Structure 1
Amino acid sequence: MKFLRVGNIGSEKPALLDNNIIRDLSSVIKDIDQDTIGDGLINTVKKLDVSKLPQLDNNLRIGASVSNPSKFLGIGLNFLDHALEQNLEPPKEPIIFSKATTCICGPNDEMLIPKNSKKTDWE
């Protein structure tokens, strides 16, 4: 089971993916955000018969996994292969960096890359 947010940009609703079926969670929670995510949500869903939740179209857009996060932190060069492909020595300590939360999008959303960008990484 996976938690999702599905729908058009700005109109996503909470959902879960169970046995390749997307189920609507909007009758259970308003959204998946920093206030609802965590053990409370997991425990609530464990008590449900998810097969009774409304089924949603599997072709709906999958949005960002969490709505309105307060911060977005990344860990740089966290895989040996990634450091090596960049011709960099793997760091001895984690490289922690922040990003604007506005850059968070769904897994298949279009990303606008600046015209003169030369080192854009898929991550």
Structure 2
Amino acid sequence: MKLLRVGTAGAERPALLDRDGTLRDLSGIVPDIDGDLLADASALARVRAAAENPGVLPALDATGLRIGPPLGRIGKIVCIGLNYHDHAAETGAEIPAEPILFFKAPDTVVGPDDGVGGLE
């Protein structure tokens, strides 16, 4: 089972790719795949139960359907740079004495075939 968010940018809906490769609509089970879902044990249990019997979920026609970002309503994205020796070596940088923290804008999380920053 794979959880996906599918649809046009900004209007993605939750979906499940079942064992047979059929895309199933999860919007009747959960409103989105986001932090609230991941923090809600009962909602995750509903998703697991649906995944065990995917035939109860409506099939979606995947033809031309865009796969969106993996999570909706993303807030802060905190990153750690040069966090392992090989990464520092790749960049030619010294290994930092302390972690290098930086932020990314939430709109930098995109679907697998989306352009980054408007670049296609």
TM tier relative to shorter chain: 0.7 to 0.9
Per-residue CA distance 1:9-54 (angstroms, 9 max, x = gap): 1111001222233211001011122222235232222222123212
Aligned counterpart, 2:24: 23
Unaligned runs of 5+ in 1: 115-123
Count, aligned residues: 114
Measure the CA separation in 1 of the matches of 2:62 and 2:105: 30
**8 Å contact from structure 2 (residues 108, 117) kept in 1:** no
C-alpha spacing 1:84/1:62, structure 2 compared with 1 (3 Å): same
Aligned counterpart, 1:11: 11
Deviation at residue 79 of structure 1 after TM alignment: 4.7
Runs of 4+ in 1 over 6 A off after TM superposition: none
Measure the CA separation in 1 of the matches of 2:36 and 2:71: 10
1:22 partner amino acid: L
**8 Å contact from structure 2 (residues 37, 44) kept in 1:** no
Measure the CA separation in 1 of the matches of 2:39 and 2:14: 14
RMSD of the alignment, in Å? Answer: 2.4
Aligned counterpart, 2:38: 37
Aligned counterpart, 1:2: 2
Higher normalized helix content (fraction of residues):
2
1:101 is aligned to 2:106 = yes
Deviation at residue 75 of structure 1 after TM alignment: 2.2
